[in-house]
Amino acid sequence: MSKVNKLLHTRYRVDNLDRTVKFYCDILGLEEIRRHKSPRGSELVFLKAPESAEEIEICHFPASDPVQVQPDLTHLAFEVDSLEEFGKHLAAHGLKYSDGPTTSSGGTTFAFIDAPEGYEIELIQKKRAINP
């Protein structure tokens, strides 16, 4: 039986490639892995979080219509050590959470920020273990 093996990347199309890549690298700390132009003319930049194997493909296709992201359509989720510290990092860049932080009944805390094109980014701080 044929099946997929693993997730390789997720693609998001954007209108302003440089602004978006700068956001993902400077604000989220992702690393640019590679950049190239596709045979159909799309400009592609692949990014990755330091502790993840999966990549994010940021695509700018000049021949397409402007990007219009619907609210609550999709989001990327990243783990952070501390939402309080990340909030300070955001403030230093003139940004703030668009929603949260909120703590779930299980003790995980999460918050959202908006990427330049309107894609949501979820930041998750896992429940801390209590040492006896």
List, by residue number, the catalytic residues: 122
Sheet of strand 31-37: strand arrangement: 9-13, 55-60, 43-48, 31-37
Cα separation, 45 vs 18, in Å, equals: 10
Cα separation, 8 vs 117, in Å, equals: 22
Q: What radius of gyration do the chain's Cα atoms show?
A: 16
Cα separation, 119 vs 109, in Å, equals: 20
